[in-house]
Amino acid sequence: MTETALILVDVTNSFFQEGMPNHYPAAADVLEPIRQLLEAARASRRIVVHAVERHYPGFDDYEWRKLPRHHLIGDPDQPIYPGFEPQGTREILIGKRRYSAFFATDLALFLHEQQVGRVVLAGVKTNVCIRATAQDAFANGFDVVVPREATNSNRPHLAAASLEDIDRYIGAVVSLALALEMLK
């Protein structure tokens, strides 16, 4: 497996639009790096996975035991942030109900079938959904790359600790420039 894919995690209105349930001001800092990664992946015809939380309205969800209700299908916080929507035949949308884009989805199966061996992860929040996705990508046999400029959190100390753990135990935390090269 030699292909590289880009996985964008929760690039949704909820985190990037003011007034939405998960918005935090620093989230906007990752939009330009994510845009650069997306443009590079598209230019090289890499697979792009848009992994977004989607919960069913009117039904219980185990996640509600730890978090307030959010990302209900049809609510304004759930759609992909404008300008980052899937385009063309090399991009897919994966709905997830937990932090990881791999847990209880067919993402690993799909990527293995496409001969993907390395994933570049970008999005929010480093210490929650990025870390969980990185952990499960590693557990599913993928080389994990996280560009440090393309993820952050409203808890910077936890984001820093998560990046340290990802780099030490799971994959590689690299510069945006190096991640862009990997997508070419």
Q: Has this prediction a pTM greater than 0.85?
A: yes
pLDDT digits (tens, 9 = 90+) for 55-103: 999 999 999 898 888 899 999 999 999 999 999 999 999 999 999 999 9
- Return the pLDDT at 67: 87
- Return the pLDDT at 69: 85
Q: Where are the domains positioned within the chain?
A: 3-183
Region 140-157: what's the mean pLDDT?
A: 98
Q: Point out the catalytic residue in the list 129, 132, 145, 166.
A: 129
Check if the beta carbon of residue 49 is closer than 8 Å to that of residue 107.
yes
3-183 is a CATH 3.40.50.460 domain: no
Is 129 a catalytic site residue?
yes
Q: Residue 126: pLDDT above 70?
A: yes
Looking at 22-153, list the stretches that DSSP marks H as alpha helix, in order from N- to C-terminal side: 31-43, 107-113, 131-139
Check if the beta carbon of residue 17 is closer than 8 Å to that of residue 159.
no
Provide the pairing of β-strand 91-96 with 3-9. Answer: unpaired
- Assign 2 a pLDDT band (cuts: 50, 70, 90): confident
Tell me the pLDDT of the chain averaged across its residues.
96
